[in-house]
Amino acid sequence: MENRDLPVDAERVKASETRPRGVVSLLGYSARMEKNRLEAFSDAVLAIIITIMVLELRAPVGEHLSSLRGLGPIFLAYVLSFVFLAIYWNNHHHMLAAAHQVNGAVLWANMHLLFWLSLTPFVTSWMGETEFAPVPTAAYGLLLLLAAIAYYILQGRILALEGPGSVLARAVGSDWKGKVSPVIYAVAIPCAFLHQAIAGALYVVVALIWLIPDKRIERALAEVEQPPGDV
């Protein structure tokens, strides 16, 4: 029997009740949105970014090893950017592993992060081609700073959704790495105009901080999965 006399809003509510969880209805987001598509999309974007950076590497014209000499700054810039992208992918993967759901705010925060990361090939090429000139090196630091802020916002949106007692909240804790990194980037940017080596060294310091294995999330997940009574 058709409900032709129902108001439009009532019809929408009834229609939304038949939709599976995680599906966007006419009234907005459902109570729970799955994170799988966000993870898959982010992985694909990061893979494309790295591919673009590789394609920016040009083979030398000569056939001797001396021909590679001019590619030194370009290759160093590529290695540094590759390490940073690998760090972001690793942290992003661990953070979403501890999350259970996402919402619209998380999706937009994730897009905000991917926007800044998508500019990595541009600033990497600029810095390498100019042999770490002051302005490109400072621009590189500015991009790292904006990406770090974007990641902090994304993490905050997920924490707000998961709650203070969640696995992710316990794992993140004080998050000293996430707070120290933007400060180092902010210091490195003006240092690029004093000497590019100082800024470059500070960028490497941040990379080394994050390269040190961090088992917080893995430990938190292991504690949740540990059967009751096990020590």
Q: Are 53 and 120 in contact (CB under 8 A)?
A: yes
Average pLDDT of the chain, as a whole number:
83
Report the pLDDT value the prediction gives residue 72, as an integer from 0 to 100: 86
CA distance 133 to 199: 11
Q: Which pairs with CB-CB distance under 8 Å and at least 24 residues apart come from 37-40?
A: 38/96, 38/102, 38/106, 38/107, 38/110, 39/93, 39/96
Q: Taking the CB of residue 83, how many other CB atoms lie within 10 A of it?
A: 17
CA distance 4 to 169: 48
Delimit the domains of the chain by residue range. 29-58+71-216
- State the amino acid at position 95 in one-letter form: M
CA distance 168 to 4: 47
Q: Judge residue 22's burial from the number of C-beta atoms within 10 Å of its C-beta, 0-12 exposed, 13-18 middle, 19 or more buried.
A: middle
Q: In 3-state terms, what secondary structure has residue 139?
A: helix
Q: Which residue has the higher pLDDT, 70 or 16?
A: 70
- pLDDT band at residue 21 under the 50/70/90 scheme: very low
Q: Are 57 and 78 in contact (CB under 8 A)?
A: yes
Q: Taking the CB of residue 177, how many other CB atoms lie within 10 A of it?
A: 16
pLDDT (tens digit, 9 = 90+) per residue, 50-88? 999 999 888 777 777 766 777 888 999 999 999 999 999
- pLDDT band at residue 32 under the 50/70/90 scheme: low
pLDDT (tens digit, 9 = 90+) per residue, 183-216? 999 999 999 999 999 999 999 999 999 987 667 6
Q: Which residue has the tokens 């960028």?
A: 203
Q: Are 135 and 69 in contact (CB under 8 A)?
A: no
- Residue 8: enclosing H or E segment and its boundaries? helix 8-17
31 is written with which tokens?
Answer: 């109570």
Report the pLDDT value the prediction gives residue 12, as an integer from 0 to 100: 44
85 is written with which tokens?
Answer: 């992208």
Q: Which residue has the higher pLDDT, 204 or 18?
A: 204
First to last CA, the chain: 59
Report the pLDDT value the prediction gives residue 228, as an integer from 0 to 100: 52
- Residue 89, pLDDT > 60, answer yes
